[in-house]
C-alpha cells in the first residue's frame, strides 16, 4: 500500500491514516464516529444505531447497479425521488404522504449519497443526449469533491474528466479545456507521469458508450 500526503511530513513524525473511506470524511464528527464504532463492532446491526437519518450510506454499489439496470426514464424518476429523500424532503418509500402534500421527512442522508446520485443522474442525462443539463451536474460534482473532500482527492480528477468530455460534446471547448487542465494538474500531483500517464489512465473514458455524439471524431483531446 502507498499513500499520498496533503502536507509535509518531517523525519520521525508519526503518520496516521483514516479507517474511514475518503467520501465519508466530509460528514459530521458524530456520523464519522458512528461509522468507526460500526467498523469495530462487526456483530452489531448497523440499523440499530440511532442517528439523525440512516446510520450508513444508502446509495451503495448494489443500489447503483439496480438503478443502472433501469431504462433511462425510469432511472431518472427513481434518482429524483431518492435525491428528495436524501435531502430530507420526501418520506421514505412505503410511507404515507400527508393530505396537504409532500412533507419533509427530516432524515438527511450521507452527503456521499447525494454525490453518487448526482453522478448517476449526470451519466443518465449524458446518455439521453441532454448534455447541457448533465454538464451542470458534473460541475456540481466537481464543486463537491473540491470543497468537501480531502485536498487533491482522486475523485476530483474523475469528475473533471467527465465534465471536460461533456463540455466538449456540446461545443463548450474553453470550458472543456479548463476542466481537462485542472484534472491533469491534480493527477500529476498525485501520481506523476504528466500528460502521457494521464492519457493512458483515462483513454478508456473516450471508449465508453456514454454520450450520443462520439468523441472519437478526429478532434484533438
Average pLDDT, the chain: 82
The mean per-residue pLDDT over the stretch 178-182 comes to 96
Give tens-digit pLDDT for 38-80: 756 555 554 455 556 677 889 999 999 999 999 999 999 999 9
Nearest to 75 by CA among 86, 63, 85: 63
The pLDDT of residue 2 is: 74
Confidence at residue 42, expressed as pLDDT on a 0 to 100 scale:
56
**165-186 CB burial, b ≥16 within 10 A, e <16:** bbbbbbebeebbeebbebbbeb
Residue range 18-22: mean pLDDT, rounded: 83
Categorize the per-residue pLDDT at 119 as very low, low, confident or very high, splitting at 50, 70 and 90.
very high
Amino acid at each position: 500500500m502507498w499513500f499520498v500526503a496533503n502536507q509535509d511530513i518531517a523525519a520521525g513524525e508519526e503518520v496516521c491514516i483514516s479507517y474511514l473511506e475518503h467520501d465519508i470524511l466530509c460528514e459530521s464528527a458524530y456520523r464519522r464516529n458512528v461509522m468507526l464504532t460500526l467498523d469495530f463492532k462487526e456483530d452489531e446491526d448497523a440499523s440499530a444505531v440511532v442517528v439523525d437519518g440512516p446510520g450508513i450510506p444508502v446509495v451503495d454499489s448494489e443500489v447503483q447497479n439496480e438503478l443502472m439496470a433501469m431504462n433511462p426514464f425510469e432511472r431518472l424518476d427513481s434518482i429524483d425521488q431518492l435525491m428528495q429523500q436524501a435531502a430530507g424532503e420526501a418520506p421514505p418509500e412505503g410511507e404515507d404522504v400527508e393530505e396537504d402534500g409532500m412533507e419533509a421527512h427530516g432524515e438527511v442522508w450521507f452527503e456521499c449519497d447525494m454525490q453518487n446520485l448526482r453522478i448517476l443522474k449526470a451519466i443518465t442525462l449524458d446518455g439521453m443526449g441532454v448534455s447541457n443539463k448533465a454538464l451542470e451536474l458534473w460541475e456540481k460534482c466537481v464543486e463537491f469533491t473540491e470543497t468537501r473532500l480531502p485536498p487533491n482527492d482522486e475523485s476530483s480528477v474523475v469528475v473533471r474528466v467527465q465534465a471536460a468530455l461533456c463540455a466538449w460534446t456540446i461545443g463548450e471547448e474553453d470550458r472543456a479545456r479548463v476542466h481537462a487542465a485542472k484534472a491533469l494538474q491534480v493527477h500529476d500531483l498525485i501520481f506523476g507521469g504528466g500528460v502521457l500517464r494521464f492519457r493512458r489512465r483515462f483513454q478508456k473514458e473516450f471508449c465508453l458508450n456514454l454520450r450520443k455524439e462520439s468523441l472519437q471524431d478526429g478532434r484533438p483531446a
